[in-house]
């Protein structure tokens, strides 16, 4: 148990690396603009990321972001290794991601889960997806982070496409 306590006091990125090496970190997350984190099972995270990527097609930057997002899935990185910190995206990609996330939820809700291999999982998945968008809406309304939520500190890293464009302007 002492190892668990030790892991929890480390910075998030280091903690995830240590926990993943221990091979019991089987959920993934999306860190949002104010440090809130949305957590989901590997398959649910991957399906959300794929749904968002499918909406990103109206510009070269969006297509590059879609390809980059698909590389952040557990299917590509390994179980428990998919993650995304929205704050690390370029401003243009962050905006495109937020817009595509809302559109992807709307598209998924309209299509339903009848085409899913296991349609019985769709209601739980769409509920988790709605939770992600609700968290984004709360941030947009500048609602305080709930007391029981411990925000993730930003790393300051720059990931994904679009940074060269941002730096030029």
Residue 22 maps to a domain: no
8-state DSSP, 161: T
Of 106, 154, 131, nearest in space to 44 by CA: 131
Residue 16 maps to a domain: no
Residue 168 maps to a domain: no
Residue 24 maps to a domain: no
Counted domains in the chain: 1
- Give me the domain span that covers residue 135: 41-143
pLDDT (tens digit, 9 = 90+) per residue, 92-122?
999 999 999 999 999 999 999 999 999 999 9
Residue 93 maps to a domain: yes
- Contact criterion met (CB below 8 Å) for 96 and 56: yes
pLDDT (tens digit, 9 = 90+) per residue, 5-43?
333 333 444 344 334 434 445 678 999 999 999 999 999
Give mean pLDDT, residues 39-58.
96
Residue 31 maps to a domain: no
Cα–Cα separations (whole angstroms), residue 136 to 4, 23, 56, 92? 30, 30, 18, 17
pTM to 2 decimal places: 0.82
Residue 35 maps to a domain: no
pLDDT band at 50 (very low <50, low <70, confident <90, very high): very high
Name the β-bridge partners of 37: 31
Asked if the model's pLDDT at residue 164 lies above 90, the reply is no
Of 142, 130, 164, nearest in space to 33 by CA: 142
What distance in Å separates the CA atoms of residue 16 and residue 45, rounded to the nearest whole number? Answer: 16
pLDDT (tens digit, 9 = 90+) per residue, 135-160?
999 999 999 998 888 888 888 999 99
- Token readout for 168 is 């030029």
Residue 160 maps to a domain: no
């Amino acid at each position: 148990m002492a190892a668990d306590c030790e892991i929890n006091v480390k910075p998030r990125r280091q903690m995830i690396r240590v926990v993943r090496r221990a091979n019991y970190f089987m959920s993934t997350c999306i860190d949002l603009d104010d440090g809130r984190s949305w957590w989901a099972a590997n398959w649910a995270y991957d399906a959300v990321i794929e749904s968002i990527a499918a909406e990103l097609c109206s510009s070269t930057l969006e297509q590059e972001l879609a390809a980059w997002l698909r590389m952040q899935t557990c299917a590509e990185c390994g179980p428990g290794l998919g993650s995304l910190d929205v704050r690390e995206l370029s401003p243009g990609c962050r905006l495109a991601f937020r817009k595509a996330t809302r559109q992807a939820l709307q598209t998924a809700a309209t299509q339903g889960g009848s085409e899913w291999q296991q349609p019985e999982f769709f209601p739980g998945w769409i509920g988790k997806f709605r939770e992600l968008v609700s968290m984004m809406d709360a941030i947009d309304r500048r609602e305080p982070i709930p007391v029981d939520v411990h925000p993730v500190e930003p790393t300051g890293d720059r990931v994904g496409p679009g940074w060269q464009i941002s730096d030029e302007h």
